[in-house]
Amino acid sequence: MKKHDFGTLPIKDLVSISQLCAADIATIFSAAGELKRNRYKHDALLRGRRLAMIFEKESLRTRFTFDVGIQDLGGSAVFLDHRDARLGSRESIKDVARNLERWVHGIVARTFKHKHVEELAANCSIPVVNGLSDFMHPCQALTDFFTLTEKLGDVRGRKLAYVGDGNNTCHSLLQVASKLGCHISVGTPEGYEPNSRIVSEAMLSSRESGSIVEITNDAEAAVAGADAVYTDVWASMGQEDEREERAAIFLDYQVDEDLMARAKPNALFMHCLPAHRGHEVSAGVMDGPNAVVYDIAENRLHVQKAILVLLMGKPALVPVGV
């Protein structure tokens, strides 16, 4: 088999999509496509490499796909459960980073505070990947758009509608869409819009890519003419005490059959999971023929493997003596 050129990324870490340009995203997608097509033919790319997985929050898809992914590539993973003792509580994040860089070749971190991922990355020589923070979810958004390119081809000029809470997933979707030339319309209740700085950055990127970025409080307007409709839980991890209040506020933002009818015929339905049928999405939409939620879940494996290869496969970043 001819050796595949996976390319390179001009970054040490993946903390936010803001670190990537459109060409970098294309490199990730190309690598993910090759790893998906030939899943068991690249089982030595990260042979002997070890991945530390630091999780302050519960996880199914992120934890499982990174663990299986590094094994598929010939490496191994060590899980560090920080749900009881969060980063920085027992010892400084700087010291955690300085220790881990002596033992492993990369870190995936899922944290409550985005600044903790940034601090890990700033204090160690090995790659750090953001597996979700309160502000960003870059691996998810990259996977979402990788899936869209599989289903729709080039996303330039297409429209993605996001309905619900302007949360971490929404922020990363705004960043990817605006870099790839995909129009994106976000519909949220008043007071739950995405972060204004992220919106401003997305609008700036959209001027270069030709995309349109819209923020509205009208769910129907957001979905009108969309090629794909996306939603997420109304209360993210760490917001459990707001669940009942948010359920009342977001009632008109459920993605049901009537709202999907405002999109293009056969528009795709997307969700990062876990989903709550009867809340942010109706059972009919979630389990309907146009839902690609499990395709997205599958593709988390391939996209995250690509990220690991592109970051951890750089010999210069392997710690001395490991």
Query: Which residues does the annotation mark as catalytic?
Result: 110, 137, 140, 232, 272, 300
b/e for 270-290, b at 16 or more Cβ within 10 A? bbbbebeeebbbbeebbeeeb
| CB count in 10 Å sphere of residue 151 | 14
| CB count in 10 Å sphere of residue 83 | 10
CA end-to-end span of the chain: 30
Cα–Cα dist 170/163, whole Å:
9
Render 190-257 in DSSP notation, one character per residue: TT-PPPHHHHHHHHHHHHHHT--EEEES-HHHHHTT-SEEEE--SS-TT-GGGHHHHHHHTGGG-B-H
The single-letter DSSP state of residue 119 is H
Render 42-60 in DSSP notation, one character per residue: -TTTTTT-EEEEEESS--S
Helix, coil or strand: residue 70: helix
Specify the long-range contacts of residues 195-202, CB closer than 8 Å, at least 24 apart.
195/135, 195/166, 195/171, 198/171, 198/174, 199/174, 201/18, 201/175, 202/174, 202/175, 202/177, 202/178
Q: Give residue for tokens 């309905």.
A: 163
Q: Are 209 and 181 in contact (CB under 8 A)?
A: yes
Helix, coil or strand: residue 159: strand
Longest dimension (CA), the chain: 60
**Is omega for the bond preceding 138 within 30 degrees of 0, making it cis?**
no
Helix, coil or strand: residue 145: helix
